[in-house]
């Protein structure tokens, strides 16, 4: 589990496997839940044991062996920069979602691993291989070498509605002490990590280091989330834990099931910002809700569906969205090529439009150009920021411009303060839309450089 000390941010599946098991293993065992507060002494003596009995066997312990390269302090004393390798160990949890040995966990649990061993609740051990890793959602899918054994599974439930206050269990392997179950409630939904990666389920069920990749379970014994991180000043549970919702878990599993090596996310092609109280009053909304469309990418699914600048998107598929992360998540769990229903507030009324979402256009791995000559960009490698590349690195796909993919250590660009990831927005008053145009403007400038870049979402101006 990755603790977060200041801000909520992430310290951040199988060509022959088919779909993950659906929610039917518990049919006739637990029944349909009725939401109510405890009323009698008997209610207070009720037990979670029936839920644990059907779900715990599918939660596993994951031990990942990694190689860590570090500078050798002995050679540092003599001014030599030698490095040495050290074997590291990462311990986390996972959930079996297919009986033929398909396991979902967190990407940060197995990232960089050269050897992975998975231990079941009944102490059987199996070696595992990574078949898909998705850093953006912090999910990864493993395949166990079971030798033909069928394993216990936990159904993925991404259809039942979740409510703040619902009872949940967190099952995992905290601190490597062995499988542990904690209980709590859903504290909040659609929590953002500030980077637009996903919309988390927040819970007060105790989650600690080692719980990463473990299961957040509802009262049917179904998987509703993968426990991923905590917000804590101490590094241990403080009752604020976060889980990746099961809709994203299923999307990642299905991507691997289709033989993909990476998750291709759908995009809408609209840049949005949260609704404010003043803006809601100005346009006649009863209260602040939804997100305001700031711009629409030409030819995007949003443009084709008739979404306009100034519209307010209040829901996707009937589910409310209140910030960019929630919108991106609702669109991101839809397969490219499918239709989504958008609820849009415009001219005082709400209407429904349908958009066929697609993968973002452009090359996600474009060619880079290294800037030469004598100018502030000398030594920087740049590339066109296509929607596909922007989506891959978690930047607004409608941003456009040119992105710095690398900066040489002793170059003019490094001395000027440029960093990899900076996006060049304008040079000497000219909006930059491509690396070719950037080179042309540079070649036409003899002295005086007025540069505007976008860094971590903030515009920065520099004059040289």
The Cα-based distances of 115 to 67, 101, 195, 212, 354 in angstroms read 10, 17, 30, 18, 46
- Alpha-carbon distance of 440 to 282, in angstroms, equals 44
Residues 168 and 190 in one domain: yes
Residue-wise pLDDT tens for the chain (464 aa)? 554 433 333 333 333 333 444 443 344 455 555 667 767 777 666 788 889 999 999 999 999 888 766 665 554 545 555 566 667 777 899 999 999 999 999 999 999 888 999 999 999 999 999 999 999 889 999 999 888 889 999 999 988 889 999 999 999 988 888 889 999 999 999 887 655 557 899 999 988 888 899 999 999 999 999 999 888 776 667 778 999 999 999 999 999 888 888 888 888 999 898 899 999 999 989 899 999 999 898 899 999 999 999 999 999 998 889 888 888 889 989 999 999 999 999 998 999 999 999 988 887 777 888 988 888 899 999 988 888 888 777 777 777 789 998 898 888 888 888 988 889 988 888 888 888 888 888 888 877 888 988 888 788 888 88
Residues 123 and 165 in one domain: no
pLDDT at 216: 96
Which one of 138, 222, 323, 391 is the catalytic residue?
A: 138
Residues 347 and 410 in one domain: no
pLDDT at 104: 96
pLDDT at 251: 93
Domain count, the chain: 4
Which residue range forms the structural domain that includes residue 329?
270-356
pLDDT at 30: 53
The domain that holds 333 is classified in CATH as 2.30.42.10
The domain that holds 121 is classified in CATH as 2.40.10.10
pLDDT at 26: 41
Within a domain: 45: no
Annotated catalytic, 212?
Answer: yes
pLDDT at 124: 93
Residues 253 and 163 in one domain: yes
Cβ-in-10-Å burial (0-12, 13-18, 19+) of 445 comes to middle
Residues 253 and 160 in one domain: yes
pLDDT at 131: 94
Q: Which of 355, 351, 296, 312 is nearest to 331 (CA)?
A: 355
pTM score, two decimals? 0.77
Which one of 90, 212, 246, 435 is the catalytic residue?
A: 212
Which one of 21, 55, 93, 108 is the catalytic residue?
A: 108
How far does Cα 43 stand from its chain's mean position?
38
Residues 10 and 61 in one domain: no
Within a domain: 389: yes
Residues 253 and 274 in one domain: no
Return the residue matching tokens 């005082």: 348
Q: Which of 88, 123, 144 is the last residue of a domain?
A: 144
Give residues with Cβ within 8 angstroms of 280, minimum separation 6: 286, 287, 288, 289
Within a domain: 293: yes
pLDDT at 23: 44
- Other Cβ atoms closer than 10 A to 58: 26
Residues 184 and 207 in one domain: yes
């Amino acid at each position: 589990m990755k603790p977060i000390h200041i801000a909520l941010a992430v310290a951040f599946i199988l060509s022959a496997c088919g779909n993950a098991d659906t929610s039917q293993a518990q049919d006739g065992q637990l029944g349909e839940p009725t939401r109510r507060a405890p009323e009698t002494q008997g209610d207070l003596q009720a037990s979670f044991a029936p839920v644990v009995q059907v779900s715990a066997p599918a939660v596993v312990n994951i031990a990942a062996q990694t190689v860590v390269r570090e500078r050798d302090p002995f050679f540092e004393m003599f001014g030599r920069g030698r490095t040495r390798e050290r074997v590291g160990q990462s311990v986390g949890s996972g959930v079996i979602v297919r009986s033929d040995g398909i396991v979902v966990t967190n990407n940060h649990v197995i990232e960089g691993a050269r050897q992975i061993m998975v231990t079941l609740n009944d102490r059987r051990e199996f070696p595992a291989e990574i078949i898909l890793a998705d850093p953006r959602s912090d999910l990864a899918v493993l395949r166990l070498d079971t030798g033909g054994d069928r394993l216990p599974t936990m159904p993925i439930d991404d259809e039942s509605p979740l409510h703040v206050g619902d009872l949940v269990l967190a099952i995992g392997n905290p601190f490597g002490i062995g499988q542990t179950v904690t209980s709590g409630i859903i504290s909040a939904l659609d929590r953002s990590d500030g980077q637009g990666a996903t919309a988390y389920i927040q819970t007060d069920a105790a989650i600690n280091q080692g719980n990463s990749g473990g299961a957040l379970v509802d009262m049917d014994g179904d998987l509703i989330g993968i426990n991923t991180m905590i917000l804590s000043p101490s590094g241990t549970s403080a009752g604020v834990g976060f889980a990746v919702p099961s809709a994203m878990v299923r999307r990642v599993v299905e991507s691997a099931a289709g033989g993909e090596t990476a998750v291709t996310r759908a995009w809408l092609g609209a840049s949005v910002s949260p609704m404010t109280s003043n803006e809601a009053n100005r346009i006649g909304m009863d209260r602040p809700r939804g997100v305001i469309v700031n711009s629409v990418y030409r030819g995007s699914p949003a443009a084709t569906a008739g979404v306009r600048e100034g519209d307010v998107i209040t829901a996707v598929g009937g589910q409310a969205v209140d910030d960019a992360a929630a919108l991106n998540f609702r669109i991101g769990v839809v397969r490219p090529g499918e239709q989504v229903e958008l609820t849009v507030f415009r001219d005082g009324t709400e209407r429904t439009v349908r958009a066929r979402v697609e993968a973002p256009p452009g090359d996600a791995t474009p060619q880079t150009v290294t800037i030469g000559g004598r100018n502030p960009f000398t030594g920087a490698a740049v590339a066109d920021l296509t929607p596909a590349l922007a989506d891959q690195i978690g930047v607004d796909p409608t941003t456009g411009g040119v992105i710095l993919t690398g900066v040489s250590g002793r170059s003019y660009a490094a001395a000027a303060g440029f960093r990899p990831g900076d996006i060049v927005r304008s040079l000497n008053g000219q909006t930059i839309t491509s690396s070719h145009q950037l080179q042309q403007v540079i070649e036409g400038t003899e002295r005086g450089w007025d540069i505007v870049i976008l860094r971590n979402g903030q515009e920065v101006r520099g004059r040289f």
